[in-house]
């Protein structure tokens, strides 16, 4: 025997390979896998340490709690519990004066207070009252003028119906005597936007002003105005 193995089918000789003493028993590629695994573990460990370090910071806070918001009020009132006028049997030239108090009681200072009309109704020749129409079917509105004035003094107490409670002067709101016809006022002064400027001046909360109303039926009213009637509301509106 020359140390060669048996013959193979192809005519060659099979030569066994012997392990070199001291060499690893298994395939060398196993060591490569272990090396990769060590790198991955090292990266994971590094990531964990970096995340923990980013959380290790000092901080402090302060707060202002229970903030509350509420709307202010714009409130105006008058001292009459019923209509200023209940005038019947008017005739050409009839006139009368009524005074009343108006008080502003809101918590906000309004930019303006205006006066306008609403809910007008009319009656023709004693008939039923119907919604007002800007025509001459009922003639009371075109024959009745209203002069409106405001006192210039702030009053601490309700003046009632006393015109004399105003010790100073009055300012026209709806034009000089005899004022403006109710037909014009009802047609043109219907809201805050087109209302009559109140001439209130400086508005102080919880103070009263005297308002004076003077109505006059035209001396030239014709017979066709007999038994005609008019109902209307006067509205004060304060706007902040």
Distance of alpha carbon 78 from alpha carbon 158, whole angstroms: 9
Under 8 Å between Cβ of 148 and 196 = yes
Distance of alpha carbon 116 from alpha carbon 188, whole angstroms: 9
pLDDT tens for 111-145 read 899 999 999 999 998 999 999 999 999 999 999 99
Burial of 173: CB neighbours in 10 Å, binned 0-12, 13-18, 19+: buried
Residue entry with tokens 């202010």: 72
pLDDT tens for 28-78 read 444 444 444 444 433 334 344 444 445 556 766 656 666 756 555 567 788
In eight-state DSSP terms, residue 220 is: T
pTM: 0.71
Under 8 Å between Cβ of 233 and 118 = yes
Query: Which region, left, alpha or beta, applies to residue 156 given φ > 0 means left and ψ of -120 to 50 means alpha?
Result: alpha
Closest by CA to 76, choosing from 100, 101, 102, is 102
């Amino acid at each position: 025997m020359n140390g060669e193995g048996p013959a193979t089918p192809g005519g060659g000789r099979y030569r066994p390979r012997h392990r070199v003493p001291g060499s690893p028993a298994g395939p060398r590629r196993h060591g490569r896998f272990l090396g990769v695994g060590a790198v991955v573990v090292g990266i994971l460990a590094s990531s964990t340490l970096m995340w923990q370090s980013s959380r290790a910071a000092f901080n402090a806070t302060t707060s202002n709690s229970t903030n509350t918001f509420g709307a202010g009020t714009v409130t105006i009132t008058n001292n009459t519990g019923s209509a200023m006028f209940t005038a019947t049997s008017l005739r050409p030239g009839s006139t009368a004066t009524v005074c009343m108090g108006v008080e502003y009681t809101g918590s906000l200072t309004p930019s303006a207070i205006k006066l306008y009309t609403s809910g007008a109704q009319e009656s023709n020749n004693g008939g039923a009252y119907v919604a007002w129409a800007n025509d001459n079917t009922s003639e009371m509105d075109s024959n009745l003028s209203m002069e409106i004035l405001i006192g210039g003094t702030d009053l601490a107490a309700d003046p009632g119906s006393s015109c004399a409670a105003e010790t100073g002067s009055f300012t026209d709101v709806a034009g000089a005597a005899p004022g403006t016809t109710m037909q014009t006022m009802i047609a043109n002064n219907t809201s805050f936007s087109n209302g009559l400027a109140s001439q209130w001046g400086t508005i102080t909360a919880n103070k009263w002003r005297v308002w004076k109303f003077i109505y006059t039926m035209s001396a030239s009213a014709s017979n066709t105005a007999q038994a005609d009637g008019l109902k209307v509301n006067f509205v004060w509106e304060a706007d902040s």
